[in-house]
Structures are given as C-alpha cells and as structure tokens.
Amino acid sequence: MRRREFLAGLGSGAAWPLAARAQQAPEQTRRIGVLQSLAGDDPEGPIRMAGFFQGLQRFGWNEGANLRVDTRWAAGNADLHRRYAAELVALGPDVILAGTGTATVAPLLQATRTIPIVFAVVIDPVGAGFVATLARPGGNATGFTIFEYGMSGKWLELVKEIAPHVTRAAVLRNPAIASGIGQFAAIQAAVPFELVDVRDATEIERAVTTFARTGNGSLS
C-alpha cells in the first residue's frame, strides 16, 4: 500500500466503499507516532486511545499485525512535549497524531516539516500558523478544529444571563499556548474580563482562591 493510501485510511477512509477497503491488503507494517498532552495515568488517556484504535481497525489496521503505534504522554509539561516530539520524529513514523490540541502540534511542527501530522481538538489552526488555510492546509499538517472563536464571547454572555449579578469575570490561560491569543481577543470584544496567566495546577489553585475572595465573580 502506498504512503498516500495509508494516510487516506487514517484521515478520510470513512468515505471509501467497504468492499474497496477490504481489497487493499497492506504490504508492510506502518508506523504511527502519537503525542498526548495528558499524563500516562490520566483515566481519559485509555478512552481516547481505545477510540483511536477502533477507528483504525475499521479500515483494516491492527496494532501488532500491520501497524505499530508509539505513544508518548507529556503530562502537560512543555519540556516533555518538545522532548517527546523529537523522539517520535526520530523513529521515522509514516504519520504522527497530535492528540491534544495546540500543545502537541506546535512542538511536532518544530521537530519536522516533512512527516505528515494529523491534529485534533485545535482552535484556529490558521491563526496558530499550523496551516495556510482551512481549505488548503499546505505543509505537512492537517486535522480537525473544535470550535470557532466567536463562540468564546458567547460563553461569558451566557454566564451574565444565568447570573445577572456577576460584575467581574476572569479567564484562566496558559500563556505558552498560542491558540489562546485569538480566543481572548474574541472574548474581550464581547465582555470585559481579567486575564490570569497560569501554567500548572498550583498556579490555577492560587488564582481561583485569590479571585474567589471577592464576590459577584465568574471564572472561565
């Protein structure tokens, strides 16, 4: 099976007739790298990977038979994201799955501009510089977005409708994630808010505690 046929099976194989897919027997074992921002012991991880493997099996790809999958869990650590991205690229996979949004796409694109990258749960891949346009991504990355920035302002508008007494709003963000820039601009255009930078669980807890000391507030 040629490389482009394998990638089609990974991304858009759902459109193939079942009979046609059944006739295409892989000629060799293919290799997929997976970079996750979750921790290895996060209970959400096995659920995501199970769905991923089920999708591949539908198109005849089975780990241990005609497929090898190498997964790295970065646990939200920026240094690990970069380290594991380099490790996966060094393995020479046919394609890499950026499984957890911007945090996984950016380091992978820094590590390779040739190996195909498929991303999921990314906000505004154009604004983040991952693709040229939605219609014609170009480069070596393509994938799926989860929502449009305009919805961000609607979230705080909804909070105001539910709790009219709210007079203060704070948005927590990780400044290392580039996709947040456009999102916060959309929110600011709709409702004034306080931007709070946080990078880990300790900073999140501290920020929430500080903000909660005064009343009539909302966090996003």
pLDDT in tens, 160-201: 788 888 777 778 877 766 656 667 777 776 666 777 888 788
pLDDT in tens, 145-163: 887 777 777 777 788 788 8
Element counts in the chain: helices (H) and strands (E): 8, 8
pLDDT in tens, 104-123: 999 999 999 999 999 998 88
Per-domain residue ranges of the chain = 3-145, 150-219
CATH fold for domain 3-145: Rossmann fold (3.40.50)
